[in-house]
Structure 1
Amino acid sequence: TISNIIGVDACIEPTFQNLFVKSNLSGEFTVVNEHLVRDLKKLGLWDEVMVADLKYFDGSLAKIDRVPADIRRLYATAFEIEPKWLIECAARRQKWIDQAQSLNIYMAGASGKTLDETYKLAWQRGLKTTYYLRTLGATHAEKSTTRTGQLNAVPTGEGVGAALPAAEGKVCTLKPGDAGYVECEACQ
């Protein structure tokens, strides 16, 4: 979205993940929380191992012990924040919103009781609507590096840390009037 291009959030929700891959018509690209990168650089913690850790932990700092607790709290992802706090914040905004807000509810593990309590709280606080319920999958594939089988190991081998070669000339070959030009995000 344009929000990714200009470095802002598209909504009022907490950050989905601090590092993730986004897909659109132009392909896939990596989104990194620039504010987190800035703060980790100040602390001397932004390095290849940190990038590998963020990938391993799905963009979450919660289990990366070398990151100070205050930074982990500040950059908690949407699934690490209790849904009741999202609802409480939305309830306070609601007063100033003419129609309604599209509030996504994020739950790491959703039981029937938790769902019931969450949606009752939204109703009690006067929210006009909620949007999606976002949950994490029940299972995740085992994650490890391919060579060492260990986490927190800086990868070795060809191409590590090497920059991609710069594209020569215009990346997209579409021209005004070509089919697909209007939809091509690279041309805009």
Structure 2
Amino acid sequence: MAALKKNEEEKGIKYEVQLTAAAMPSVDTVRDLFAASSKDAKPLQLGSNPIFGTCIVDLEEKPVKSGGDAESLLQDALKASPNAEEAVLLQLVVKQIKRPSSTTTDVSLSAMQLLFVKERGDYLAALHDKDAKLLPVPLFKDAVGGNSCTLVVAAVSGGDAVGETNILKNVLRLRKVKNSPSRSGNLTRFVEFTKEQERKC
């Protein structure tokens, strides 16, 4: 957030950041953790964005203006999901707007997913194995073996040796997955590619 703010002040690059948060009590249900009715599960609905891929749709978005905002919203989301069996997914979308001249505007979009699996070593295994019985596979296909930059972090306390060994074993499996190069996200190239594919049909 500090880098975005600095770029705005020094280079005039405007930015907007939106955050959504969802708990996933089952493979096909979701709870919107920022909605007033966050206790109510609803059917999971997935959508696809040509820039950043598959995402959960129909979630309340919260604007993020600072690192403090992001931390506060993260804490609110995790407090709204006290169940250790629920995975929590946060998606942060960053839009940067640059005006290199009076007649052109460059817009850059990027997204980051944060997945909290809590004490679920089996969820980490399901991510690796793309197990549709435990998780909505399309939502994570780019993160594991796809074209995203992915980081796996595990925090263990030493309180449950068996459970934490399982978590660490599955973290190691995920770390060995090789992702393909990231897409540029260049909208012009995307449009050209789409037109080329249409001509082939």
**Which interval holds the TM-score relative to the shorter structure?**
under 0.3
Give TM-score, length-normalised by structure 1. Answer: 0.25
Give TM-score, length-normalised by structure 2. Answer: 0.24
Structure showing the higher strand proportion among its residues: 2
Larger Rg, first or second structure (1 or 2): 1
